[in-house]
Amino acid sequence: MRQTYPALTLVAASCLTITAHAPAAIIQTAEPFIGITHHQIIEASDGSTAGGTINFPRPVVIHLVEIDPAAPGVSFLMQPGNGPLQGEVTRYTTPNFANTFGTQIALNGDFYADAGAGQANVTHTGVSQGNGYSPNWYTGQPIFNVDANNVASVLAARTPGGFDSLENIPLYNALGGNQRILTNGSITAPNDSYTNALNPHSALGVAPDGRVFLMAVDGRQGDFSSGMRTTEMASLFLHFGVTNAINIDGGGSTTLAFDDSNDGIANARVINSPSDLSSELSPGNPRLVANNFGVFATPNPDYIPLPSPPRPLAEGAVPLLTTLTILDDFEGSKGRFASARGVAGSGNVATYATRLDNTAPHQGFESLEITITNTGAQPSGMFARIPSGAALPSNNTQNGKAMARTGYVGFFIKLDPGQDPLYAAIQLDDGSPIQSGLERSNFIEIIPNGQWQLVQWNLEDSRLWSPRDNGDGDIDGPNTFIDSILLSAAPGDTGGPNWAGTLHLDTIAYNPNGDLASLIIPEPTSAAIFSLVTIGWIRRRSAA
């Protein structure tokens, strides 16, 4: 459910206060699941996020998940115990927990101690679907609980070593924390070193109307996100209507994961930027933690994921493209592919030539025609690398800007009917104009039907990318540039059988905020074809 929130400023002491002061940070929202809103709160160090409703005195990135427990399909799961194994729980990374138990959302759980052999003991209370495995630590210790009817509350432990609460509410899906940071609308985090340190944090809260909130604060990442104090988190919760909340963990454990692809596959992804092995330029890795809190939910078919928060640019990096951009359209020029020469690959069995063709472009008036000639050399195998901008990052900017590491890159390709199988991939320079590594996409089969086919790749899906020279198999920027388009007679860069034929390229594009489907042009009707032919005849007559 959507709410309207007042303006907020983070003041130097340790709390957030409502103010009419000029806003700086922005709040971006998306609805990945029915009844669930993902709020992404960003204060960038360079002021590029100015224009929002919250002020912070430092760069910070916060992910807040707002959940309506009454929404269809919503239910909760605290990670269960490990049964007869040593320790209390089996350690998972947060996305692996989501994949293993089938939840759509997961947040890391409580503090813990390693018990060896991939197991751990949880510090505070742990109860999963009414089955307790980690007892209360001390009387008054804060507990977040969701009962069997999806009613959430923040409680206080009654008996050390027991599974009860001072409020006499049975524990069902429950986990403890180290601080109760909000109590009935008042900030109650203690004034101690933990409270006042800037760190990554994980927290849970409840609003009076029953909404549940999960918070993941990124930290220890310089000018990307330097973290928060727990009193500041309490004030931010208040801004969103939360009146009771606990801090459950932090540091390198803080991880939020979504399985939001709606593809029927358990493939949860990390939403925040864990601090382990991170820098202000690149995200870290999820940690093996003791337990996790999960949410089951129904995918929203209209969901568009939020883009990754902007990171500071590396030395020598250039500004980023922020909107859908056509990189080459071949209107009157071969563009960055004018210098393409030769074919490299297994067997070196072909040569190719390029020219502009105006018979049936994807859009506009021309496309790039590529004719590959089979030389008959042995062993057989055709693999062509067609460079963009002579394969130099400095030649592949667009008005001084580069692709980011988010979104999709791709192009339209057409292969005439009756031709042998052909596969296409794209190779990218990943880094900055000064220093980069090569990453190669997977190959996609091109259908020989004479129709324009969109081939595109998600820069954020590491499963699609393989390392080449100085690459690491991930698009992690901060800049990304097209190095070349790859063609192969087999789905790999070792080449395949000898191949000869003609194909066309057009509309090479990048979208940092989603895919390239909006560039698909429906096939024209016969009347439209007649109209296009007539227009072409008029143009030729005018030229004559």
Nearest of 221, 200, 235 to residue 62 by alpha carbon: 200
User: What is the pLDDT averaged over residues 256-271?
Assistant: 95
51-74 pLDDT per residue, tens: 777 888 899 999 999 999 999 999
Residue 2 has pLDDT above 50, yes or no: no
The pair of structure tokens assigned to 191 is 């004034």
466-522 pLDDT per residue, tens: 998 888 888 988 899 999 999 988 887 666 677 889 999 999 999 999 999 999 987
Residue 523 has a pLDDT of: 58
Residue 463 has a pLDDT of: 86
Residue 180 has pLDDT above 90, yes or no: yes
Distance CA 523, CA 521 (A): 6
Output DSSP code: residue 49: T
Where residue 431 falls (left for φ over 0; alpha for ψ -120 to 50; beta otherwise) is: left
Q: What are phi and psi of 146, to 5 degrees?
A: -120, 120
CA 176 to chain CA mean position, Å:
29
Q: Measured in Å, how far apart are the chain's first and last C-alpha atoms?
A: 63
80-95 pLDDT per residue, tens: 999 999 999 999 999 9
User: What is the pLDDT averaged over residues 525-531?
Assistant: 42
Residue 7 has pLDDT above 60, yes or no: no
Q: Find where tokens 């590396």 sit.
A: 314
Give 525's pLDDT tier (boundaries 50, 70, 90).
Answer: very low
Burial-class residue 49 by CB neighbours within 10 Å (0-12, 13-18, 19+). buried
Give the CB-side neighbour count of residue 35, counting CA atoms within 13 A: 18
Contact 518, 440 (CB under 8 A): no
User: What is the pLDDT averaged over residues 96-112?
Assistant: 98
**1-17 in b/e burial notation, b at 16+ Cβ within 10 A?**
eeeeeebbbbeeebbbe
Q: Find where tokens 């947060």 sit.
A: 94
Q: Which residues in 316-452 belong to E strands, given as ranges?
A: 325-328, 350-357, 367-374, 383-387, 408-415, 422-431, 436-441, 444-446
Q: Find where tokens 């400023």 sit.
A: 9
405-464 pLDDT per residue, tens: 899 999 999 999 999 889 999 999 998 888 888 999 999 999 999 999 999 999 999 889
User: What is the pLDDT averaged over residues 102-115?
Assistant: 97
Residue 19 has pLDDT above 50, yes or no: no
Residue 533 has a pLDDT of: 36
273-309 pLDDT per residue, tens: 999 988 777 788 999 999 999 999 999 999 999 988 8
Contact 111, 251 (CB under 8 A): no
Residue 312 has a pLDDT of: 80
Distance CA 146, CA 175 (A): 10
Residue 23 has a pLDDT of: 45
333-390 pLDDT per residue, tens: 999 998 655 444 444 446 778 999 999 999 999 999 999 887 666 666 788 889 999 9
**Number of continuous H segments (helices) and E segments (strands) in the chain:** 4, 36
pTM of the model: 0.65
Residue 535 has a pLDDT of: 34
Residue 348 has a pLDDT of: 47
Give 122's pLDDT tier (boundaries 50, 70, 90).
Answer: very high
Residue 542 has pLDDT above 50, yes or no: no
